[in-house]
Chain A
Amino acid sequence: SYELTQPPSVSVSPGQTARITCSGDKLGNTFASWYQQKPGQSPLVIIYQNTRRPSGIPERFSGSNSGNTATLTISGTQAMDEADYYCQAWDTSTSYVFGSGTKVTVL
């Protein structure tokens, strides 16, 4: 079955850049989406189709996808960005699959 691997945690100082990776076999050949989930809330899409940002999502969130790795970048990280982040992709054998999640801590 297809798997997406994320680091369990990422720490970042306010105002700095956080990068969250999502690794999967030939992930760059498909599209990746990213979801933000804060405690007690439902996931919220922040990046879809690798780089597209839904309306209302701040410009400091951006995405890329190449080779075996998709990356979510948070530029100028703010305290409100502290949350869990999940990547998601589609595979012919597994259908829709999610990464295990990365907890972003803003120190």
Chain B
Amino acid sequence: QVQLQQWGAGLLKPSETLSLTCVVSGGSFTGYFWTWIRQSPGKGLEWIGEINQGGTTNYNPSLKSRVAMSINTSKNQFSLSLNSVTAADTAIYYCVQKRGMAAAENWFDPWGQGTPVTVSS
């Protein structure tokens, strides 16, 4: 059974860069897109983007200019970087496995435990 464990800094100042990493265990790392989703009181659940083992990425258009994702297949890890953060980026960030084939068929399971990130001066 696939499990996702994530970590990263939880308190940032405005203009700093958010960095989170997620490690996958208990299942195949290849053949899937690995996803970041965040949850904030103001905007609810928001898809940030995804990456696969080949390094192909897709990002939310609203965040694309500030987001970068990377992957380390030797360690079954993938990472999120979000630069120039503001208070609006305060949220719980989740790493998630995307399931299904065609985009319209996709769903998200399982989810990591979540990392609360606060941006405050």
Give the interface of A toward B (CB within 8 A): 30-31, 33, 35, 42-45, 48-49, 54, 86, 88-90, 94-101
Q: Which residues of A contact B104 (CB under 8 A)?
A: 30-31, 89-90
Q: Confirm or deny: B58 has a beta carbon within 8 angstroms of a beta carbon on chain A.
A: yes
B58 x A33 contact (CB < 8 A) = no
A44 x B45 contact (CB < 8 A) = no
Of the candidates B44, B47, B99, B111, the one whose C-beta lies within 8 Å of that of A96 is B47
A54 x B44 contact (CB < 8 A) = no
A88 x B109 contact (CB < 8 A) = no
Q: Which residues of B contact A95 (CB under 8 A)?
A: 47, 58, 60-61, 103
Q: Which residues of B contact A48 (CB under 8 A)?
A: 99-100, 107, 109
Interface centre among A33, A96, A97 (most CB of B within 10 A): A96
Bound-state Cα–Cα, A31 to B99, Å: 13
**Number of chain B residues whose Cβ lies closer than 8 Å to a Cβ of chain A:** 22
Chain B minimum-CB-distance residue to A48:
B107
Of the candidates A33, A42, A97, the one whose C-beta lies within 8 Å of that of B107 is A33
The 10 closest A-B pairs by CB, nearest first: A98-B45, A48-B107, A96-B47, A42-B111, A33-B107, A45-B109, A30-B104, A90-B104, A90-B103, A100-B44
Of the candidates A30, A42, A54, A86, the one whose C-beta lies within 8 Å of that of B114 is A42
Interface centre among A33, A90, A95 (most CB of B within 10 A): A95
